[in-house]
Amino acid sequence: MTARAGPTLLALSPSALADRPEATLRDLGATLEPDAVSVLGPSRDPQAFARARRAFDAPVVHPPLESGRGPLSTLALDTADETLGVSVAPDSRALRATPETVADELAASTPCVLVCDDVTTSVRPTALETTLEHADALASALPRDRVTTVLTGSEPAGYDELWHLASETGTVRAVDHDPFVACRSTNEDAVSVRLRGVGPVEGYGESTGVALVTLGGDGVERIETYDVTDFGLEAVSGIGPKTAARLADLGVRTRMELLETPTETLADLPGVGRGRARTLHQHARVLETGEPRRLTDESLPGENWSTPPLCLDIETDGLSPTIIWQVGVYDPATDEYRAFVERTDPSDPGSVLEAFCDWLLGIHPDRALLTWNGWRFDYRHLGAFIAKHVPYYADEWEAIPKFDLYLWAVGDDNAMLPGRTNALADVASALGYEDAGTGLDGARTAAAYQQFVRTGEALEWDRHEAYCEDDCRALWHVYERLRDGPRADSTASNTASDRSSEPSVESTDVPASGSSGRRRGPTSGDARNANERSEQTEQTGLGDF
């Protein structure tokens, strides 16, 4: 895992725990190494709580069942360096009961973090209004003139808004957006609540349910999400709950045990077969060793070219961009990185693109480009923006060969990758890439740029450029590891065709949608759309996939 600064709290939704083999939870614990675990409310689920207590070594809390001496209990997070406490309220009623006690306890605590799972927002579209439920309880019990971070399982991970409440009434004074850019309390009368979601994120009929909260400074440094099926046997592509249960009957509960089970045995399982048994082994090995594996003889995109492709990454001001303000290109041939950044006139989306196209078409007219999931984001938006803002380059841009490593590896089943998710940062990190530790992600850098556009205050340009460069270099790192990694051996040389000719077993059993960006095809709604290939993945976050 990436190095982390502070102690961590693992937030688990009860649905992620239900019917989950204990071995999976153990793998989850062993992989994420949380310092404490919270089984999310607001509903009581003693069974889920019991499961978690059995599976994890770290202290486990289930807020709805907490009723200690005071209104709050403290969850201690012990690390080698320090011990921090997180306050836990069973629900907002507990805050109302003795607000002064709560305020005193919180005021004395650092960091100032409260878990309260029934705090949530609700939307009233007929009034075009979003209300904060239990705002009055928060206003009465939280310390003033200071920002309290409230973690709630009732909002999805990724929810992050700063609510300023009148301390007497709980009336909403203002709501600051993007508190990760700037987070201050307003004045002495106000109670400032930075509400952060740790609940499941809704995907295509799937939800993540695992959030790892890293504490730091006076609150929460970051929150990462995972799908519980990224762990244990189910992390192996092709193993869903049904197959996992059958394997458990054979005494196979971990990936190591899977690898120790002969493929012949696996092949006898209903709906597995020889080809698939081999694939299960291969993927389990990839996950266990951290070594990628090529499944076919297919060469990497651009592998046979005389010069390698240029690794490309863009930064925008949002998922529906109005400007592509940074284009980063890493040239593996010369180990040079080039960034095109709009630092002065954000109202002009054309000049960065023009500079980029001048350079690309003038200096490297015969190179190919490489991205990570670029067809859903980088290529898509570059194409649209070039057509609109530098139309004289549109045809040349269209003609440039464009490759996508994610599509080649995952979409076309040419390789198996280690990493909990298929997000570039996860894959690269699993393959030993050490990033520059900018602490940024796509959403942050977009929000920061929006801030620059609004206020004219300069960004930390170096940091944001380093973030983009990181992704370009990480992409090449993954490429090299795949290029140099073991090829499909002769016995498995036709694995791909084997697989495709096999009946698709447990078709619902593909790994569920991943965390922070990895999304499979839609499983609800107009599912037929999934037949259009590039719709099989969906960019839902600004991070490179």
Partner 1 sequence: MSNHRSTDPTDVPITGDDLLETFPRYRDAEDVTVLELPGREAATVPPATVLRPELAASLEEALYTHQAEALEALAREENVCVATSTSSGKTRIYALQIARHVLEARARGEESTAYLLYPTKALSRDQERSLNDFFDTLDLEITVRVYDGDTEYGENRRRIREEADVIITNFAGVNTYLHDHDRWARFLSACDLLVIDESHTYTGVHGMHVAWIVRRLKRVLSYYDADPRYVLTSATIGNPGEHSEALIDEPVTVIDDDGSPTGPRELVVWNPPPRARQDGADDRDDWSQVSGRTDSTAESADDSAERVTEADADAVLERVPATVEAPRVLSHLAYHDAQTLLFTPSRKLAELSVKRAAKFRGDNRRTYVNPDRGSAIEPYHAGHSRRQRHGTEHQLKTGVLDGVASTNALELGIDVGEMDATVQLGYPGQRQSFWQQIGRAGRGAKRALSVLVAEHRTLDQYVVSHPDYLLEADVEDAVVDVENDAVFAQHVRCAADELALSEDDAGSFADRERLERAVEMWRRAGQLTGALETGVSYAGPPRPQQSISLYATAGEEYEVRLADGVDEGHDPEMEPLARERVLRDFHEGAVRLHGGQQYEVVAVDHGSPRPSVTVQPTNVDYYTRTRTDVTVLDAVSEESREIGDFTLHFGRGRVLVYHGTYDEVGIHDGTTKSRAIPTENPPLSMETQLCWLEVPKRLERGLVEKYREFSLPDLEDGLAETAHLGYAGGLHAAEHAIIGVAPLELMVDKRDLGGLATLSIDSHLDQDAGGDARDGPSGIGPDGSDDAPRNIAAAEATVREIAMDLEREPASGWFVYDGIEGGLGFARAIYDNYEAVAERARELIAGCDCGTVGGCPACVMDDQCGNDNQPLHREAAVDVLDQLLGDADETALEPYLPDEEYGGDRRPPLFYA
Asked if 540 interacts with partner 1 (CB under 8 A), we say: yes
3-state class (DSSP) for residue 23? helix
Q: How far apart are CA 468 and CA 371, in angstroms?
A: 12
Nearest-5° angle of CA 91, CA 182, CA 519?
70
Of the ranges 179-187, 219-227, 376-384, 504-512, which one interacts with partner 1 (CB under 8 A)?
A: 376-384
Of the ranges 209-217, 358-366, 403-411, 534-542, which one interacts with partner 1 (CB under 8 A)?
A: 534-542
Of the ranges 271-279, 315-323, 429-437, 459-467, which one interacts with partner 1 (CB under 8 A)?
A: 315-323
Q: How far apart are CA 57 and CA 35, in angstroms?
A: 9
Of the ranges 57-65, 218-226, 382-390, 473-481, which one interacts with partner 1 (CB under 8 A)?
A: 382-390
With respect to partner 1, which residue has the nearer C-beta, 74 or 322? 322
Asked if 322 interacts with partner 1 (CB under 8 A), we say: yes
Q: Is the previous residue joined to 111 through a cis bond, with omega within 30 degrees of 0?
A: yes
Tokens at 250, concatenated: 């054979």
Looking only at residues 203 through 262 of this chain, which bind partner 1 when binding is defined by CB under 8 A?
A: 203-205
Q: Residue 150: enclosing H or E segment and its boundaries?
A: strand 147-156
Asked if 404 interacts with partner 1 (CB under 8 A), we say: no
Shortest CB 495 distance to partner 1, Å: 25
Q: How far apart are CA 213 and CA 34, in angstroms?
A: 9
With respect to partner 1, which residue has the nearer C-beta, 395 or 489? 395
Q: How far apart are CA 419 and CA 423, in angstroms?
A: 8
With respect to partner 1, which residue has the nearer C-beta, 69 or 528? 528
Looking only at residues 461 through 520 of this chain, which bind partner 1 when binding is defined by CB under 8 A?
A: 519
Shortest CB 522 distance to partner 1, Å: 7
Task: Select from 78, 168, 189, 202 the one that contacts partner 1 (CB under 8 A).
Answer: 202
Q: Residue 22: enclosing H or E segment and its boundaries?
A: helix 22-32
With respect to partner 1, which residue has the nearer C-beta, 156 or 439? 156
**352 exposed, middle or buried (CB, 10 Å; 0-12, 13-18, 19+)?**
buried
Beta carbons within 8 Å of 118's beta carbon, 6+ residues apart: 41, 42, 91, 92, 133, 134, 152, 154
Asked if 457 interacts with partner 1 (CB under 8 A), we say: no
Shortest CB 159 distance to partner 1, Å: 4
Looking only at residues 420 through 449 of this chain, which bind partner 1 when binding is defined by CB under 8 A?
A: 443, 446-447
Q: How far apart are CA 275 and CA 263, in angstroms?
A: 9
**35 exposed, middle or buried (CB, 10 Å; 0-12, 13-18, 19+)?**
buried
Of the ranges 93-101, 151-159, 263-271, 337-345, which one interacts with partner 1 (CB under 8 A)?
A: 151-159
Shortest CB 377 distance to partner 1, Å: 11
With respect to partner 1, which residue has the nearer C-beta, 79 or 523? 523
CA nearest neighbour of 292 among 433, 496, 511, 478 = 478
With respect to partner 1, which residue has the nearer C-beta, 204 or 393? 204
With respect to partner 1, which residue has the nearer C-beta, 135 or 244? 135
φ, ψ of residue 95 to 5 degrees: the values are -70, -40
Instruction: Say which residue the tokens 């005389």 belong to.
Output: 306
**8 exposed, middle or buried (CB, 10 Å; 0-12, 13-18, 19+)?**
buried
With respect to partner 1, which residue has the nearer C-beta, 14 or 273? 14
CA nearest neighbour of 140 among 160, 163, 165, 120 = 165
**Residue 12 and residue 210 in contact, taking contact as beta carbons nearer than 8 Å:** yes
With respect to partner 1, which residue has the nearer C-beta, 346 or 418? 346
Q: How far apart are CA 536 and CA 130, in angstroms?
A: 33
Q: How far apart are CA 489 and CA 262, in angstroms?
A: 18
Task: Give the chain's end-to-end CA distance (angstroms, integer).
Answer: 17
Asked if 156 interacts with partner 1 (CB under 8 A), we say: yes
Q: Lay out the site mask for partner 1 across 169-188 (x = CB under 8 A, - = otherwise).
A: ------x-xx----------
With respect to partner 1, which residue has the nearer C-beta, 105 or 317? 317
Shortest CB 319 distance to partner 1, Å: 4
With respect to partner 1, which residue has the nearer C-beta, 298 or 535? 535
Asked if 123 interacts with partner 1 (CB under 8 A), we say: yes
With respect to partner 1, which residue has the nearer C-beta, 318 or 485? 318
Give the residue ranges of DSSP H helices in 65-181: 92-97, 99-107, 135-141
Asked if 343 interacts with partner 1 (CB under 8 A), we say: no
**191 exposed, middle or buried (CB, 10 Å; 0-12, 13-18, 19+)?**
buried
With respect to partner 1, which residue has the nearer C-beta, 155 or 509? 155
Shortest CB 446 distance to partner 1, Å: 8
Asked if 528 interacts with partner 1 (CB under 8 A), we say: yes
Asked if 317 interacts with partner 1 (CB under 8 A), we say: yes
Of the ranges 54-62, 119-127, 221-229, 247-255, which one interacts with partner 1 (CB under 8 A)?
A: 119-127
Asked if 522 interacts with partner 1 (CB under 8 A), we say: yes
Question: If you compute the radius of gyration of the chain from its CA atoms, what whole number of angstroms results?
Answer: 25
Q: How many residues in the shown chain lie near partner 1 by CB under 8 A?
A: 59
Kindly list the residues in this chain that would bind partner 1 in the complex (CB under 8 A). Answer: 121-132, 155-156, 158-161, 163, 175, 177-178, 197, 201-205, 317-323, 346, 380, 383-384, 387-388, 443, 446-447, 450, 453-454, 519, 522, 524-526, 528-529, 531-532, 535, 538, 540
